Amino acid sequence: MKGRFLVLLLAFVTGGLILLSATSGLAEYGDIVLNSKKESMKEAGVKPVVFPHWFHRIRFKCKVCHEDIFIMRKGANDITMQAIMDGEFCGKCHNGLIAWEPLYCDRCHSYEGK
């Protein structure tokens, strides 16, 4: 009984550490760094976007986003903040009803890498 409790406690602590590290601004395995508009992001004073693909994938099947929202080819999606605010791309779900609104820049624009 005591051993089982310790295993559950260790799993809980490990899971918490994983969640904390996911918000560190460094891309995790399977994440996608979106930096094709680096000049306009630099002008706006925001970092490149870290899209936590793994986080979304454990919650949704691929067909939820592909190919109706995103085309699975590098450079095929012209993602802009205006498009997102207009309900396209990430804005299909991040609209304040399904998921949080894209009002907090640092939630997405968080990449600390090179």
| Domains contained in the chain, number | 1
Question: Mind listing the pLDDT tens digit for each residue in 7-46?
Answer: 455 555 454 444 444 445 666 778 999 999 999 999 999 9
In a domain, 113, yes or no: no
Q: Which range of residues forms the domain containing residue 35? A: 2-108
In a domain, 44, yes or no: yes
In a domain, 23, yes or no: yes
Q: Give, for 51, the enclosing helix (H) or strand (E).
A: strand 49-51
Task: Please check whether residue 75 is in contact with residue 85, taking contact to mean a CB–CB distance below 8 angstroms.
Answer: no
Percent of the chain with pLDDT over 90: 66
Is the per-residue pLDDT at 92 higher than 50? yes
CA separation for the pair 38, 35 (Å, rounded): 5
Confidence at residue 19, expressed as pLDDT on a 0 to 100 scale: 44
In a domain, 38, yes or no: yes
In this prediction, residues 47-51 reach a mean pLDDT of 95
Is the per-residue pLDDT at 91 higher than 80? yes
In a domain, 114, yes or no: no
CA separation for the pair 27, 52 (Å, rounded): 8
CATH code, domain with 77: 3.90.10.10
